[in-house]
Amino acid sequence: MFKLKNIILLSSFCFVCSSALAHQNASLSQRIDEMMTSIQRECKNPEYLSQYRDLKTYQQKQLKNENETYDYYSDLLDVADFPKLDVNDLCQKVLVKNQIDLADIEQKQREGRSNEAFIDLDLLIYTLLKNLYEDQALSIKDIQKIQVYEQDFLKKFDQNPNDLAMGAIGLSSLIRFFQLNLDYSPSVNQKIYEATLRFNRIFDHIYKSDRYQKFNDDVRFIVPVRLAQFKYTSEEYKLINAIQRSDKELIKASAQNFSKFYDNKQLADQFHKDYQNDTDFDEVIRPWRVANLLTFAFFKLDDLENTKKWIERASLIGVGEEQCYANTLVLDPSLNSFIKNDKVWYQPKLDKQIKDCKLIQKNTEILSKFDYQKLIQNYEKYCDDKYGYKASLLKLKESKFLSDSDFYTTMTLMSDLSDTIEMAEDSSTTNRCVAALKENKAEFLQFYVDHMKPSAFSYQDAKNELKNLK
C-alpha cells in the first residue's frame, strides 16, 4: 500500500516518431528553444532544473539531426520540493507555463486515443496552478478551458473507467501544490480552495463509479484519502480566513471546530468504516498541520497557554538553517516574542535547539570535506546525467547547512536510482551506469562510517549497507 507522502507521479509520455511529423518537430524545436530562453532569463542555476535539462537534451539531439521527440513529464518537481509555493517567484511561474505548453503539444499528439484524458487532467491542474502566480482571477477563457478539461475527463472516464481511474494517482500527485497557507494572501487561498472544490468533484465521481471496487488498490487508497481531506480543507479555510481578518470571535469558533481533526480516534474509526480503508489516519490528516494552524489561532487570541500547548505538537520548533542562525525558537518574530514571555518554558527549549544546531554545523564542516566532484565525474562519465542526479550532488556540495540525515538520505537515492534503472533497462551502457552509481554509493558510505560518530542519525544503517556491499 502506498503511503500518501510517497505518492509521486513518475509516468512519462512519448511522441510518435515518423517522417510525417518532421514539420511538426521543427515547430516543436522552436518552442523548446523559447522555453529554454525563458528559463535562462528567470531562473538562477537553470542547470539544476530537470525541466531545463530535459529541454536541453532534446535540443542537442535535434542539432545532431536525430529524429527524436520530446519526452513529456508531468511531475513538476522543479516547482517546489515541498508543497509551499512562492507565488511571487517568476522562475516557478515560467516552469508552470512551460508545462502547460508541453502538455498542450502532447494533447494534440494523443487526440483520439484513450490516454488523451490524462492530459486533460494535467492541463486542468496547470491552468489553475498558473493562476496562483497571477494577481487577477481566472479569465473567462481559462474558466471555459478548465470546464472543458474537467468534462472531457469525466466523459472519457465513464466510457473507460478501468483505465482512466489511474488518473486519480496523477491528480493526487499534482494537487500537492494546492495547500492552503497562512503565508499566502487571502486571494491566493481563495483560489486554492476553489480549485480543491473542483478536484473533490472529480474524486467523488470516481468513487461513485459502479466499478470502484474493481479498481487498482492504489486508486482505492488515494480516492478516500482525498475525499476525507476535503472535509479538513473546508474547516482549515474558514480558520485561515478568520486569522487573516483578525476576527477573534470567528477564530474562537473556527479553532474549536478545527481542533477536532487533531488525533481524533472517532474520526479515524469513521473513516475506516465509511471507506473500508485501513490507511493510518495520520496519513490522511497530518497532526502537525492541524497543530501549526491552531498555534497561530491561539496566538491571535493572545492565549499563551494554548499557544504553548499547540506549538509543542506542531512542526514550528526545529533546527532549520534560518532558525539556527537567528537563535530563535520559531521563525515568526511576533510569535517568538509572544512565547518568550514564559522564560521558564522558553529557555530550555532554545538551549536544546542551539545545541542541536551546533551539532549540525559541526557535521556540515565534516561533510563538506567529502569529494563530491569525484562522484559527479564518475556519474557523468557513465550516465551522462541522463537521470538528473548531478543537481542533487551539487546542492549537497554547496550546502552551508547540512545535517547528516539529509546527506545520507540524498546519497542513498543513488541506490534507489540504480535499482530503478536496472529494472527498467538492460544494455551494456545502462549496466555500466548502474555500476558507477553503486561505486559512488560505496564511496559515500565508507566516508560516512569513517567520519561520523556512532550516534549519527544513520550510522548503523550505513554500516550495514556497507557490509552488504562488500
Q: Residue 250: inside a domain, yes or no?
A: no
Answer whether 48's CB lies under 8 Å from 391's CB: yes
Q: What is the pTM of this model?
A: 0.83
Residues 424 and 383 in one domain: yes
Residues 142 and 177 in one domain: yes
Residues 17 and 64 in one domain: yes
- pLDDT at 297 (0 to 100): 98
Residues 340 and 400 in one domain: no
Residues 462 and 400 in one domain: yes
Answer whether 438's CB lies under 8 Å from 418's CB: yes
| CA 148 – CA 139 distance, rounded (Å) | 14
Q: Residue 282: inside a domain, yes or no?
A: no
| CA 87 – CA 128 distance, rounded (Å) | 13
- pLDDT at 396 (0 to 100): 87
Q: Residue 270: inside a domain, yes or no?
A: no
Residues 113 and 18 in one domain: yes
- pLDDT at 17 (0 to 100): 36
Q: Residue 1: inside a domain, yes or no?
A: yes
Q: Which domain holds residue 55?
A: 1-184
- CA-nearest of 24, 37, 123 to 69 is 24
Last residue of a domain, one of 168, 184, 200: 184
| CA 92 – CA 46 distance, rounded (Å) | 12
* pLDDT, tens digit only, all 470 positions of the chain: 333 333 322 233 333 334 444 445 557 788 889 999 999 999 988 887 888 888 887 787 776 665 555 555 556 667 765 557 899 999 999 999 999 988 887 777 766 555 667 788 889 999 999 999 999 999 999 999 999 999 988 998 998 898 788 888 878 888 888 999 999 999 999 999 999 999 999 999 999 999 998 898 889 989 999 999 998 999 999 999 999 999 999 999 999 999 999 989 999 999 999 998 888 899 899 999 999 999 999 999 999 999 999 999 999 998 888 888 888 999 999 999 999 999 999 999 999 999 999 999 999 999 999 999 999 999 888 887 767 778 788 888 888 898 888 888 888 776 667 666 665 566 677 788 888 888 888 999 999 999 999 988 889 999 998 888 77
Based on C-alpha coordinates, what's the Rg of the chain? 24
Residues 12 and 53 in one domain: yes
Answer whether 261's CB lies under 8 Å from 292's CB: no
Last residue of a domain, one of 117, 151, 184: 184
Residues 13 and 153 in one domain: yes
Q: Residue 209: inside a domain, yes or no?
A: no
Last residue of a domain, one of 154, 184, 214: 184
Q: Count of domains in the chain?
A: 3
Residues 339 and 374 in one domain: no
With vertex at residue 44, the alpha carbon angle to CA 100 and CA 371, rounded to the nearest 5 degrees, is 120
- pLDDT at 431 (0 to 100): 82
- pLDDT at 233 (0 to 100): 94
Residues 325 and 452 in one domain: no
Residues 326 and 375 in one domain: no
- pLDDT at 341 (0 to 100): 97
- pLDDT at 110 (0 to 100): 66
Q: Residue 249: inside a domain, yes or no?
A: no
Q: Residue 399: inside a domain, yes or no?
A: yes
Cα–Cα distances in Å, from 380 out to 78, 360, 372, 389, 397?
Answer: 21, 30, 12, 9, 16
Q: Residue 349: inside a domain, yes or no?
A: yes
Residues 20 and 146 in one domain: yes
DSSP at 6: G
- Residue whose C-alpha cell is 481559462: 142
- pLDDT at 83 (0 to 100): 55
